[in-house]
Structure 1
Amino acid sequence: MIVKMKFINISGPRNDIDRVTDTYLSKYEIQLESALSELKTVDNLRPFVELNPYRDALSMANKFVGYLDNPDKIKPDATLALDDMFELVRTANEEYEHLQEKKEKQKQAIGAAQQKQQIISPFQPLDCNIQEVLNYRFIAYRFGKLPIEYYHKMQKYLADDLDAIYVEGERDDTYVYGAYFVSPGEAPKADAIFRSLHFERITLTDEYKGTPSQAYRALSREIDKSQKEIEALNQQIADFLTKQGPQLVAAQKRLQELSNNFDVRKMAARMEENKEDYYILCGWMAEDDVEKFTEEIKNDDKVFVVVEEERDKYFGEPPTKLENPKLFKPFEMYVQMYGLPAHNEMDPTIFVALTYSFIFGAMFGDVGQGLLLLIGGGLLYHFKKIPLAGIVSCAGFFSTIFGFLFGSIFGFEDIIQPLWLRPIDHMTTLPFIGKLNTVFIVAVAFGMGVIIFAMILHIINAARSHDVEATWFDINGVAGLVFYASIVAVIVLFMTGHKTPAGWVLAIMFGIPLLLILFREPLTKKIEKKSNKMEESKAMFLIQGFFELFETLLSYFSNTLSFVRIGAFAVSHAAMMEVVLMLAGVEEGNPNWIVIVLGNLFVCGMEGLIVGIQVLRLEYYEMFSRFYSGSGHAFSPYSQKTESNSKK
């Protein structure tokens, strides 16, 4: 059902806007509109130009609440005053930043130690005290690395002639790390030779204590110490946040409310009159909420509310809010996918819920598989609130009913007797046609009934919109309904062996509606007393009208036959389950239950998906297209925005 909306104006002293927003608007659903845009006839309107005083504190509160584990499960501390919230957020931020600075220093210390480790690590095999080496006076030294291929050349060709000792450290795939020692007098010659061997020097400083391996282990201890310090700081932060959690959550929620309330100024306007400063807010509210709101503020002398009666004339189309029973609520998803109804349209949710579930059940009739969809979809909808799961559950209920009507349970058709018929083998004899599967006939008859009902809904919607052409002369209007219903009546009479009306009666029943459809444009102009001048010649008008009528007749025929798919899927479902049982060896008396279970799951999943899509196609193309435009826009209340923002 579509909730009836009213457009209201709310005004009062400018400095009272926060109280009104916090006290009233946060409790009721109202879609605020820009007062500057909507109230064009009011003079002296100005926008609010104020900075949100809660934004910075809210940003910090959001940050801290985001650090908490499961903040939704923390009970807020409701004892904090607003000033206490600001102080709490400020002190929490100072404490947090102080601890973060300590962590950052420890991270920097770890980075520096790891960098030193990276330098000293390749020299760990060297058994020498680094500080003593750095203080040698009569021996020159060079730490560095040699490419492996040049190291081998040095050993092979220069080892005997080189007046230097090369002490090897670690190796990798590319280099041999180490140091060479030489007398100061031979140092220039040795340096020249090692440069020719692409030796790269690595500088060691007196920061390293003891041997390279000792220095490496000392650096590891420093890193471990800093990591433990970081863990302690993390625990300190966690304890701090846990302790302050209830207060931080309370502050975040309240600051969120106040920030959103303050942001109402974006939609408000200011008006100065007789040295008094007023605010003006306007928007759409449900009719029931308007009554409650006006009743609540009747004793509040600072709030003035005006309910606009001619809403459509001045403020455009009202937004659409759907309100349906819980059983049909999930099917609103399909309506929203097509488009929300306009305020003067009928809400098709209940129609979709009943027809979709019924058709799905007829195409997927099986007691066992229907119960699986019913229970599985119901549980998923109960715990996760997924609309599609609710739709599957309703469809499963009707599948179970049709399963009893068809006598099928998990594909077995010899366990229970059908309350109606078995789709795969029940035939009916029709005049001029012969034997035809009964479910095909029933599916087409059902389709005819649905199309007629959709035409009636179209007429109601068109009448609500005061659309003369759509009401009387459209192919889905009164003329189209009379024509199509006449055809259906004649077919039913003929197929059941009853007498059909005389030829002249048929000519009237079929001819007059078609003529009305053909001349719908000039007839509408005549009724609405508009100019009857035709844009094209009469001959062109008749030719174009003839082809449109021909297309209309084809569409009636194709739309009706489209419902044959209901019977086709009912038969194919039974046939697929016969194949599953055959593969499982049921006919041989020794069934493979694994094949039966997997086959049922496969058919339930694959065919259930296909049937769901096909039923949705019937809903959209064969039903919705006849009576529903879906041109409405969603109702987006201020309180809903506040709630969604507070969850972020």
Structure 2
Amino acid sequence: MSWREALAPVRMRRIAVAAPQDALGDVLALVADAGCVDLDGAAGIEECADHAVIRDGVAVVAGWTPAQAVDALSLTLATAGGAVVPLPHPPGAEAPSLLRGQGLRGSVNPLVETYGTVPYADVDPAPPAALAYVLMFGMMFGDAGHGLMLLAVAAMLHAGWPARLTRFRGAWPFVAGAGLASILFGLLYGEFFGPTGLVPVLWLDPMSHPASLLLLALSVGALLLGGAYLLGGVNRWREGGLPLALYSPAGIAGGATFIGMGVAAGGWYLAETWLTAAGLVTAVTGLGLILTGFLAEGGGLTQAVIRSADVVIRIGANVASFARLAAFGLTHAAIGWIVWKATLGLWPTAPAFAALVFTAGTLLAFALEALVAAVQALRLEYYELFSRIFQAEGRPFRPLRIPLPAKEAPRCPFRHGEGSSPSARLSS
């Protein structure tokens, strides 16, 4: 697989499934058993058969399948007299989207799929989105001790214990990544179940340097937004060519405005006139492209100016929104400080009660702050980043399947990469 293929959803091939009219049911049953063919959204075998085109005793239904499955599917259907006929991609038709799910990569796909279906032409953002998520989570949940607790949770999920959490087993790499990020930032902050002094402060103490933590949060937010504009520009190019990429607020025009505003702000802070001027020129150029694009959509000059001004306001608001990385990181540190100070105060007179306070406080802080950090990182991912990466909704890949109990249902190997189901054998 080339690196270009790895950055996109699974490549689909338009096909026609052909069979003698009297054998169509058996052939469609094999298709459903394989679980790797989307027959244009048909929900069942009978529906597919009803929409089949019949000529001279031969029935044909069209659909989509992963390109790598065509040869194996042809061999399977031949046993019942069926055939797979590759077709050209219909002009203007969008293929269904299926994210790659083999190995560890499949555990992060729900992060994207919960937001929406990636358009077939777009870049698959799941890997960079997962890295951005665990980075933001770690900044807000920076405690090495709590990170170790997350690693323990990941180990439990991987082992399938307790049984009620078995359905979340696939998320263990995601939880482990969040735990590692928390340990990293915990070491930077000198936090190990609070400011216990068990680890040194490698960078800064959040409680003593909140301004530095805020600057880091805004810098990380600016870098993540820059990456989102980069992916957005690539996606706009793939979706509509140069014009869409050039004039879109979520493409080159928006990225130029964002970068220009950032450079101008940096030049003003450093008192560098030339840097401020370069940033303003870049921002004005990007804003001019955005205005031109809005005018091309119709609605008049006034509406285009208002929409362009809204883009500028949103950029500022989006950057400021990343301040929550520092705010919630500081909150986490403050809760840990309170628990630790309470423990130290009780220890000389009531060590047993001090141990109880430390244990209960640690568990409460872990549960509360893990939930808050998870929600806030998700909020930043969806509202600040994905809103630039995605501008359209794709069509999910829905393969024809025989309705079987969940434990027996065939699974497309390109998505799950599991087991010895018929679809897994199909890909071998």
- Please confirm whether the aligned pair reaches a TM-score higher than 0.5, indicating the same fold: yes
What is residue 412 of structure 2 aligned with on the other side?
none
What is residue 373 of structure 1 aligned with on the other side?
150
The alpha-carbon deviation at position 437 of structure 1 amounts to 1.6
What is residue 367 of structure 2 aligned with on the other side?
605
What is residue 285 of structure 1 aligned with on the other side?
65
Q: Return the match for 1:573 from 332, 337, 346.
A: 332
The alpha-carbon deviation at position 572 of structure 1 amounts to 1.2
Letter of the 2:377 counterpart: V
Structure-to-structure mapping, 1:548-563, within 5 angstroms? 548-563=307-322
Structure-to-structure mapping, 1:400-549, within 5 angstroms? 400-426=183-209, 437-466=211-240, 468-495=242-269, 497=270, 499-501=272-274, 505-522=278-295, 536=300, 541=301, 543-549=302-308
What is residue 13 of structure 1 aligned with on the other side?
20
Counterpart CA distance in 2 for 1:25 and 1:278 is: 19
Preserved CA contact (<8 Å) 2:140 2:328: yes
The structure number with the bigger radius of gyration is: 1
1:336 and 2:119 matched? no
The 3-state SS of whatever aligns with 2:86 is strand
Counterpart CA distance in 2 for 1:325 and 1:493 is: 46
Counterpart CA distance in 2 for 1:306 and 1:617 is: 45
The 3-state SS of whatever aligns with 2:61 is strand
Give the alignment's TM-score, normalised by structure 1. Answer: 0.56
The 3-state SS of whatever aligns with 2:103 is coil
The 3-state SS of whatever aligns with 1:279 is strand
Q: What root-mean-square deviation, in Å, do the aligned CA atoms of Structure 1 and Structure 2 show?
A: 3.1
Structure-to-structure mapping, 1:59-78, within 5 angstroms? none
Letter of the 2:123 counterpart: M
What is residue 37 of structure 2 aligned with on the other side?
30
> Does the C-alpha gap of structure 1 residues 513 and 642 become closer, same or farther in structure 2, counting only changes over 3 Å?
same
What is residue 97 of structure 2 aligned with on the other side?
320
Counterpart CA distance in 2 for 1:507 and 1:572 is: 36
Counterpart CA distance in 1 for 2:130 and 2:144 is: 20
> Does the C-alpha gap of structure 1 residues 328 and 302 become closer, same or farther in structure 2, counting only changes over 3 Å?
closer
Letter of the 1:368 counterpart: G
Preserved CA contact (<8 Å) 1:34 1:267: no
Structure-to-structure mapping, 1:46-195, within 5 angstroms? none
Preserved CA contact (<8 Å) 1:358 1:398: yes
Counterpart CA distance in 2 for 1:471 and 1:288 is: 31
Preserved CA contact (<8 Å) 1:339 1:629: no
Preserved CA contact (<8 Å) 2:264 2:278: no
1:348 and 2:128 matched? no
Q: Return the match for 2:141 from 364, 371, 390.
A: 364
Counterpart CA distance in 2 for 1:394 and 1:581 is: 26
Q: Deviations over 1:255-289 (max 9, x none)?
A: xxxxx8x747645526252xxx2222322111100
Q: Deviations over 1:310-351 (max 9, x none)?
A: 2354xx432221114533423322322211111112222112
The one of the two structures with greater contact order (alpha-carbon pairs below 8 A, sep at least 6) is 2
The 3-state SS of whatever aligns with 1:501 is helix
1:626 and 2:399 matched? no
Counterpart CA distance in 1 for 2:331 and 2:142 is: 11
The alpha-carbon deviation at position 371 of structure 1 amounts to 1.2
Preserved CA contact (<8 Å) 1:447 1:560: yes
Counterpart CA distance in 2 for 1:451 and 1:535 is: 29
Counterpart CA distance in 2 for 1:619 and 1:550 is: 24
What is residue 183 of structure 1 aligned with on the other side?
none
> Does the C-alpha gap of structure 1 residues 370 and 34 become closer, same or farther in structure 2, counting only changes over 3 Å?
closer
Counterpart CA distance in 2 for 1:29 and 1:369 is: 42
The alpha-carbon deviation at position 469 of structure 1 amounts to 4.8
The 3-state SS of whatever aligns with 1:319 is coil
Letter of the 1:406 counterpart: Y
Letter of the 1:392 counterpart: V
Preserved CA contact (<8 Å) 1:10 1:303: yes
Letter of the 1:318 counterpart: A
What is residue 3 of structure 2 aligned with on the other side?
none
Preserved CA contact (<8 Å) 1:483 1:514: yes
Counterpart CA distance in 1 for 2:107 and 2:23 is: 41
Counterpart CA distance in 2 for 1:459 and 1:413 is: 46
Counterpart CA distance in 1 for 2:317 and 2:402 is: 45
Counterpart CA distance in 1 for 2:263 and 2:108 is: 33
Q: Which has the higher strand share?
A: 1
Counterpart CA distance in 1 for 2:373 and 2:279 is: 38
Counterpart CA distance in 2 for 1:34 and 1:545 is: 39
Counterpart CA distance in 2 for 1:342 and 1:507 is: 34
> Does the C-alpha gap of structure 1 residues 14 and 643 become closer, same or farther in structure 2, counting only changes over 3 Å?
farther
Preserved CA contact (<8 Å) 1:34 1:282: no
> Does the C-alpha gap of structure 1 residues 507 and 606 become closer, same or farther in structure 2, counting only changes over 3 Å?
closer
Q: Deviations over 1:438-457 (max 9, x none)?
A: 11001101111111111111
The 3-state SS of whatever aligns with 1:271 is strand
Preserved CA contact (<8 Å) 1:2 1:320: yes
Counterpart CA distance in 1 for 2:389 and 2:175 is: 25
Gaps of 5+ in 1: 36-259, 427-435, 526-533
Deviates more, 1:382-391 or 1:513-522: 382-391
Q: Deviations over 1:233-253 (max 9, x none)?
A: xxxxxxxxxxxxxxxxxxxxx
Counterpart CA distance in 1 for 2:332 and 2:103 is: 31
Preserved CA contact (<8 Å) 1:29 1:285: yes
Preserved CA contact (<8 Å) 2:263 2:278: no
What is residue 596 of structure 1 aligned with on the other side?
358
Give the alignment's TM-score, normalised by structure 2. Answer: 0.82
> Does the C-alpha gap of structure 1 residues 325 and 303 become closer, same or farther in structure 2, counting only changes over 3 Å?
closer
> Does the C-alpha gap of structure 1 residues 503 and 622 become closer, same or farther in structure 2, counting only changes over 3 Å?
closer
Counterpart CA distance in 1 for 2:54 and 2:18 is: 10
1:304 and 2:83 matched? yes
Preserved CA contact (<8 Å) 1:378 1:390: no
